[in-house]
Amino acid sequence: MERFKSSVLLHMYSKVKNNEGFTKGYIIDKFNVSERTVTRYIKDLNNYFEEEYIDNKIIYNRKKSVYEIEYKDTKILDEKDILSICKVLLESKGFSKEEMEKVVNKLVCSRFLKDKDIVENIIANELFNYVPTGHGKPLIDKLWELSIAINNQDIIEIEYFKLSKHGKLESEATKRNIKPLSIMFSEYYFYLAALIEGMEYKFPTIYRVDRIGSFSNANRKFPIEYSSRFEDGKFRRLIQFMQTGNLQKIRFKFTGNSLEAVLDRLPNAKVLEENQGEYMIETEMFGTGIKMWILSQGSAVEVIEPIEFREEIKSAIENMRSLYV
């Protein structure tokens, strides 16, 4: 009898766990038990959840006319969470089409989703028309292996394919022994921040992960004290488009429509003055990346200081103008 009861309980739990739900009539017909027995078994399952501090409960859904599980655990992703994550992933274009489909389908197929069909319908067209970045390389395994090297503080030897002067990848890779510090994502690409072994730089070198060929463990460690650890959050506030250059304080005048967009883009920027829609802003950034951003803003941004950087921007604008003369 106990074995029979266990079989019924396991079947009921399996149904609700997989978001299939069940009716009392289904259990009665399948196991030839009474309605009272089914009611008691549902109560037994809920008592078990309560005793084991599992914040779930089997309830009757009147709209669907089935018994299903109600998840109250805030650690579990629900439909809204999954949809939001899928939207961000698809917009990022960070993975190949094959990897993106695999990740999104795994998220949507979560057994905890009650309205899985709704999520699938919303993202189906976007997933079908998803266009990844041009390199088309699988990255998930590589990101994991690099993350392990970062966690273990392993020095690794990498083969890295640089861009040539003509904008294409060089055919021969450059080999480096590096100390991997952090993986970051920006503007469609994953990047690895790392220190080159044997060289003393204040800031790390940035490598695009898809341009890293083979890499292997050099069987050496690079211990870093906690007080001097690399803090990628602080580093990201100093860099635009993952382009480094000289770190400098820049003061510029902004007359565009959205100050909020500027402050979101430059998280360490400060508004020094405001005068009838004109804002004097100061930020500390690496020169190459901030130069790219400033030039993208057209006449909405005027660099004030430093003078050398102002002249550099002026020269770039004049060169651009000469293309249209």
pLDDT at 58 over 80: yes
Q: Rounded distance, CA 6 to CA 23, Å?
A: 18
Show the tokens assigned to 221. Answer: 């460690």
Share of the chain above pLDDT 90, in %: 58
pLDDT digits (tens, 9 = 90+) for 131-177: 999 999 999 999 999 999 999 999 999 999 998 888 888 889 999 99
Q: What is the pTM of this model?
A: 0.76
* Contact between 154 and 195 (Cβ < 8 Å): no
Q: Rounded distance, CA 278 to CA 138, Å?
A: 46
Q: Rounded distance, CA 50 to CA 57, Å?
A: 8
- What is the DSSP pairing of strand 174-186 with strand 154-160? antiparallel
Per-residue confidence (pLDDT) for residue 269, from 0 to 100: 93
The three-class DSSP label of residue 189 is: strand
What is the average pLDDT across 184-204? 89
Nearest to 114 by CA among 45, 17, 22, 49: 17
pLDDT digits (tens, 9 = 90+) for 264-298: 989 889 999 999 889 999 999 887 889 999 999 99
Per-residue confidence (pLDDT) for residue 227, from 0 to 100: 64
pLDDT classification of 299: cutoffs 50, 70, 90: very high
pLDDT classification of 198: cutoffs 50, 70, 90: confident
What is the average pLDDT across 106-112? 78
> Any idea which of 240-249, 263-272, 303-312 has the lowest mean pLDDT?
240-249
Task: Considering only residues 112 and 9, tell me which one the structure prediction assigns the higher pLDDT.
Answer: 9
Nearest to 188 by CA among 123, 134, 234: 134
